[in-house]
Structure 1
Amino acid sequence: MSADFGTRLRALLTDRGLSLRGAARALNYDVAYLSRVANGRQHPSAQLAEALEELLEVSGELTALAMPKTPLSVSEAPPGPAKDIAQMKASAAYLLGHTDRYGGDTVAPAAVQVWRSAQRKLDSGEIPDKEQSGYLSAVSEAAEVAGWLLFDSGEREHARRAFLESHMLARHAGDRAMQWFALDMLAMLDTECSRPGETRRIADELLSQRRIPPRVALLARVRRGRALAQTGDRQRAMADLDAARGELEESLSPRDPGWAWWVNADEVVGHSGHALMSLGDLRGAIPTLQHSLEHATPRGVMLYRIGLLQGYTALKAWSEAEGEIYEISALLDTISSGRNRRLLREALRIVDRAPGVPSGLSSLASHTAAAVAS
């Protein structure tokens, strides 16, 4: 399926007289990532497919090719570990695609069910010894996916348990790539929970490992930069984040794990915007977050707009804050993310109680908060 996408993408680029490098520049994507997709070596994200459709002026064609489908071999194969692994991967692809568009609330329970079902089979001793390692890795990935969706649903402690389980399973499987992934997810969770000390310990552990892939090291720098910003250490925080941005092109390596494909310039810029918010540099944070809106997923757009609402409120830019509330309200019927709703409620509470806030804006914030809570 990725090869079909790549073949059609190359044909469309040729028809439009556009090079891969030109397309990457226009979309602000890494050219190496786009090259891997175009050559069938990496699965395209729904976000990339939609951006390419807009650039190449086609409707629905690339998005349809990028939609995860369960291969025929999965349904036709006899029951056994190989079929279980294929089904886990197909389920993960579908659930993650849904989350990018609509948020994780409705699909998190399904992801937990996939993980727990596979875990029970593993614990029961049903998996033959010769297939244990591959099955352990697959269950580790299922736990990581469940953890991410639980995190997006606002279930922080359940997410932490899933990430810790993912790390343990990956360690037993000898799967270093999944171990790195689980640690990165734990660092992400600790950043969200304002535990900069723990985030830094994880990032430092990753960076101290020998022959760590460049993209994993880049993400560790991003996590550490966010943690340093939370402690008010601007110089070192921005040094880490600036280094991560500078390493984006150079960091691409055959050693990078498959899960690191999503790391692009907009993602790192978004983290820089949130770091600047933590440091109180609102005038620097706002244009940085605005830049990240351009290619974010719908769920990501909502997250960045919440950050912008916080920034405008702190600056007493009431008209801009009102505009952001209206923009966010338009997303509420589509995006179901407990994490984003919690962040939005906190931001709206600050608007409602801000000194000097116009009465109309205060009423709008209160009304929107009630809608979020319902």
Structure 2
Amino acid sequence: MKYEPPTALPLDLLTVEEMLRALAEHDFGKVFELARSRAGISYSRIATECDIKPERVGTLARGRGKITSFVKIVQIVDALRIPGHMVGLAPRPWEPTGSPAHMSSDEIGSTSVRRRTVLQAATSTGLAAALPALHRPPTPKRVNATYVNQLRARTARLRRLDDILGGGDTYRVYLSEYQATRADLRNASFTAGTRPLLLSVVAEQAQQAGWAAFDAGRAAEASNLYQESMAAALEAGDSNLLGNSYSFLAYQAADRNQAVEIATRSCATITPDTPAGVRALLHERKAWACAAAGQPAQTERALELARSALEEQPDGEQQPDWAAWVDQTELDIMSGRCWTELRRPLRAVPVLTAALSRFDSSHARDMALYLSWLADAYLRAGEVEEAAAVTGRALDLSAGVASVRPRRRLAPVLKQLDQHRDVSAVRDVLEKAAA
């Protein structure tokens, strides 16, 4: 008979809507509470199998505190025998190899069966959670450079999802990919010189998952992922990804002076060998931190360095995919954002207007975000009707995008517009926002 740990959750409990929601949200306090109330599993038994103190289990079940360590999440999932796809992870080693999460698209067979399998995954965890398990290349007996390159190329392809989807849609995909590669790092053997290469992929994937977490409003998870990315980049000796880890941490830091310090640290990783796109990215992120901290001279200096990096880029220089999106248009948009933040609308409006006319509006979340700064700049310049028109367009673009950031950015703009409710264009956009 196959051994099952004493805390394995009954299969019928794994179909309960409340449990499905708790698993999808990583709300393990609710999972523990349901395990005790519906399956009769004591907190002490959960604590033993999951290597958590019993009092901690009880505290979590009462809704106080969270588990954000991904190592601990995997440990709990394995102890309770929760299938990986239910929490956004790759299939667990103990799952039956014939289960849908383990099957390739060819093995699934007919179109109707494949569609049903994907829809079942979509019902419980979201459509995107099924993608990594279906298409990730199998891990070889010994990880080699070819396999690492496949993972790096796959990571680049998955990054394209961020162009059209918000973090609420992509977080599970990126987290699953990161966890699967970490499992390779932990369990696999390597050909000579390959382990540092895989560590770099882990660092890159942690940043990708962290960005999606940040976009979805999961600040604590984002911070943890950025920290794990930093550790992996340090071990790999990858200064480019180390600098980007710092820049991500600076971008979400609540303390503005601390953000400047962290962004300065990110720029300190730049060497003569740092690709131009990476240098521009780190400098523009520092510019934003300085603008948010009210430092105009430092902001302008950082923007100049970013612009110089792009202008001086050697012909044919290879850029890492994670920095390839930084171009002159993006830098102009960042410049406009900075000048808006520094209350310089006469500088912000022209550069934002010109840059956004070149920006691909199919990137709805990003366009909505950038328009929010243009609306803010128009308001600071006293152009209320223009601000209302831009805000209305941003609201249209952000509708249905699984990202918390556009609405958060637009909230203070709408609050300012409310002071001009007597203007018909403003009333129209306020009614749109309310709807």
Q: Deviations over 1:206-235 (max 9, x none)?
A: 336543525233333323322222233323
Q: Distance in 2 between matches of 1:358 and 1:236?
A: 40
Q: Distance in 2 between matches of 1:204 and 1:78?
A: 38
Q: Compute the TM-score of the two structures, normalised by the length of structure 2.
A: 0.59
Specify whether residues 94 and 346 from structure 1 end up closer, same or farther in structure 2 by C-alpha distance, changes over 3 A only: farther
The Cα shift of 1:281 comes to: 0.6
Contact 1:318 1:358 in 2 (8 A): no
Relative to total residues, which structure has the larger helix share, 1 or 2?
Answer: 1
Specify whether residues 81 and 345 from structure 1 end up closer, same or farther in structure 2 by C-alpha distance, changes over 3 A only: farther
Q: Give the equivalent residue in structure 1 for 2:185.
A: 122
2:216 is the counterpart of 1:150: no
Residue among 228, 237, 258 paired with 2:290:
228
The Cα shift of 1:146 comes to: 0.7
The Cα shift of 1:121 comes to: 4.2
The Cα shift of 1:90 comes to: 4.8
Residue among 306, 322, 341 paired with 2:388:
322
Contact 1:228 1:237 in 2 (8 A): yes
- Structure 2: runs of 5 or more not aligned: 1-131
Task: Pick which of 291-300 and 198-207 moved more.
Answer: 198-207
Q: Distance in 1 between matches of 2:391 and 2:304?
A: 31
Q: Give the equivalent residue in structure 2 for 1:203.
A: 264
Q: Distance in 2 between matches of 1:128 and 1:231?
A: 46
Contact 1:152 1:340 in 2 (8 A): no
Specify whether residues 312 and 194 from structure 1 end up closer, same or farther in structure 2 by C-alpha distance, changes over 3 A only: farther
Task: Pick which of 136-145 and 252-261 moved more.
Answer: 252-261
Q: Give the equivalent residue in structure 2 for 1:286.
A: 349
Contact 2:385 2:426 in 1 (8 A): no
Residue among 170, 175, 193 paired with 1:107:
170
Q: Give the equivalent residue in structure 2 for 1:308.
A: 374
Q: Give the equivalent residue in structure 2 for 1:176.
A: 239
- Percent identical residues: 25
Q: Give the equivalent residue in structure 1 for 2:299.
A: 237
Q: Distance in 2 between matches of 1:163 and 1:252?
A: 30
Contact 1:273 1:289 in 2 (8 A): yes
Contact 1:349 1:365 in 2 (8 A): no
Contact 2:291 2:339 in 1 (8 A): yes
Q: Deviations over 1:225-248 (max 9, x none)?
A: 222222333233213213422332
Contact 1:74 1:86 in 2 (8 A): no
Q: Give the equivalent residue in structure 1 for 2:412.
A: 346
Specify whether residues 196 and 361 from structure 1 end up closer, same or farther in structure 2 by C-alpha distance, changes over 3 A only: farther
Give aligned pairs, total.
296
Q: Give the equivalent residue in structure 2 for 1:30.
A: none
Specify whether residues 75 and 259 from structure 1 end up closer, same or farther in structure 2 by C-alpha distance, changes over 3 A only: closer
The Cα shift of 1:275 comes to: 1.0
Q: Give the equivalent residue in structure 1 for 2:398.
A: 332
Q: Distance in 2 between matches of 1:205 and 1:267?
A: 19
Q: CA RMSD in A?
A: 3.2
Specify whether residues 86 and 268 from structure 1 end up closer, same or farther in structure 2 by C-alpha distance, changes over 3 A only: same
Q: Deviations over 1:293-329 (max 9, x none)?
A: 1124433221111111222233332221221133123
Select the structure of larger CA radius of gyration: 2
Task: Pick which of 164-173 and 291-300 moved more.
Answer: 291-300
Q: Distance in 2 between matches of 1:87 and 1:334?
A: 33
Contact 2:384 2:417 in 1 (8 A): no
The residue type equivalent to 1:198 in the other structure is: A
Contact 2:213 2:219 in 1 (8 A): yes
Residue among 183, 202, 213 paired with 1:139:
202
